[in-house]
Structure formats: structure tokens, C-alpha cells
Amino acid sequence: MVMDFFRGGGQSTIEEVEKTLVEMMENAYVVYEEAMGAVFGGGKSKETKKHVKKTDKEINVAQQEVRRALVMHASVSPTTDIADTLAYMSVVKDVERVGDYSKNVYDLAKFGTDFTGAADFEELAEYRDKVGQLMEDATAVFAVRDEEGAQALINKADVFLDEYDDHVRTAFNSTGPASEAVARALYYRFLKRITAHVMNLMTALVAPIDRLDYYDEAKEDRVEP
């Protein structure tokens, strides 16, 4: 629980929080992989549903523990790094949302979505792999506080956001079965949200406090400094 952040190991609270954020991202990736497996042929199952919900709950609990630890740290430590405390208090929500939107992908399988054999299967799978790789790379970058790597990922992922919008627009204008159009619109919408929240996590390494969550907004709504 929260006091575990202050016990042993010789690590500071901030270091323990960073470690927990990495673990949360790793769990979010587990949810993502399970969900994608379901919509790409695996289908829904009680076992997968149980694992997805259990892992997502672990992410939610970790978010609460991180916030309590940061509040206590700021209260009792005269040498508190205010910038890191505020940054992590903000981006821990983004990590939690990565898990939530990954879980939402599994909901598509619950409603019967199966992309196996679809005419656009390769494109759907390509974005699945791109976002999965983004999550893995972001986790690795954050673990070592690689500022250059974080900015490179932000620049790379920002291009994806427009592409997702194009795919949602295509689905909206589709003349095929409504179920296929809805599944694709939601799929790309969920990928967009996952991507944006991963980018927000990266801002904790490269952006000032007032610029956190910057990529959670549509490009036209972003407030420039």
C-alpha cells in the first residue's frame, strides 16, 4: 500500500513512483494484448474477460497508491521535487486511461467483432502492431527517463492521430454493414485515445508542468505557449 513507497530499498518516493508507473504501463500492455487477441480471432471468453478486468483493476489500485504516495511525500519531505510530484500526479491518470481504452477494445469482441478475414485485415493489424510497439517503447523510454527518446516518440505518434481521424471518417462514410463501420470507427477511436495518453506520459519527461496533457486535445484545440 501507500507506506510501501517509504520502506527499504534505498529508493526515494519519486523513484518508487516511477517504478510503479512503469509497472502500470506493463499491465496496460497486457490488457491491450489480450483485447487485441480477442478481436483478431480469439473472440470473447470468460477467462480473457476475467484476466482483462483483474489486470485493469490492478492498474486502478496502483493509480490510487501513486497519488496517495505523492501527496504524503509532498507533505513530509522538505526536499520535495515539486515539478516531478505535479507531473506524476497528472500523468498517472494518463497511464490509467491507457489501460481503460485497451479494455474498451475487448468490448468490441464482446459485441461480436472479429477482424479475421476482413478485407482491411492487414491495415487493421498494422495499426494494432504500431500502437503496441508505441506502448512498449514508451515504457522503456520512461523507465530510463530518456528525454530524447520521449520526444522522438511524441513526434512519431502525433502523425498517427490524423491517420486515425481519417479512418474514422472513412468508417462513417462507409456503405457497408453498419456493424463493420461501427467496429472500425470505435477501433480507431480507441487507438487514438491510447496513443494520446501515451504521448501525455512522455510529456512528463520533456514538457513543463503547464504543457502536460497537451496531446490529449485535438490539434486545432491545443493552446500554444
pLDDT digits (tens, 9 = 90+) for 10-56: 358 889 999 999 999 999 999 999 999 999 999 999 999 999 999 99
Would you say residue 3 lies in a domain? no
Q: Which of 3-12, 80-89, 95-104, 208-217 has the highest mean pLDDT?
A: 95-104
* Residue at 91: amino acid letter: V
Q: What is the pLDDT of residue 13?
A: 83
Q: What is the pLDDT of residue 83?
A: 80
Would you say residue 43 lies in a domain? yes
- What tens digit of pLDDT does each residue of 134-187 get? 999 999 999 999 999 999 999 999 999 999 999 999 999 999 899 999 999 999
CA distance 161 to 141: 20
Would you say residue 73 lies in a domain? yes
Among residues 84, 191, 192, 187, the alpha carbon closest in space to that of 142 is found at: 84
Contact of 83 with 209, CB cutoff 8 Å: yes
Task: Kindly tell me if the per-residue pLDDT of 76 is higher than 90.
Answer: no
Would you say residue 69 lies in a domain? yes
Would you say residue 5 lies in a domain? no
Angle of CA points 81, 87, 91, to nearest 5°? 145
CATH number for the domain harbouring residue 114: 1.20.58.220
Contact of 56 with 99, CB cutoff 8 Å: yes
95-99, 129-133, 198-202, 204-208: the lowest-pLDDT one: 204-208
Would you say residue 54 lies in a domain? yes
Domain range spanning residue 20?
10-218
Would you say residue 225 lies in a domain? no
pTM of the model: 0.89
What is the domain count for the chain? 1
C-alpha cell, 30: 497486457
Q: What is the pLDDT of residue 82?
A: 79
Q: What is the pLDDT of residue 222?
A: 56
Would you say residue 4 lies in a domain? no
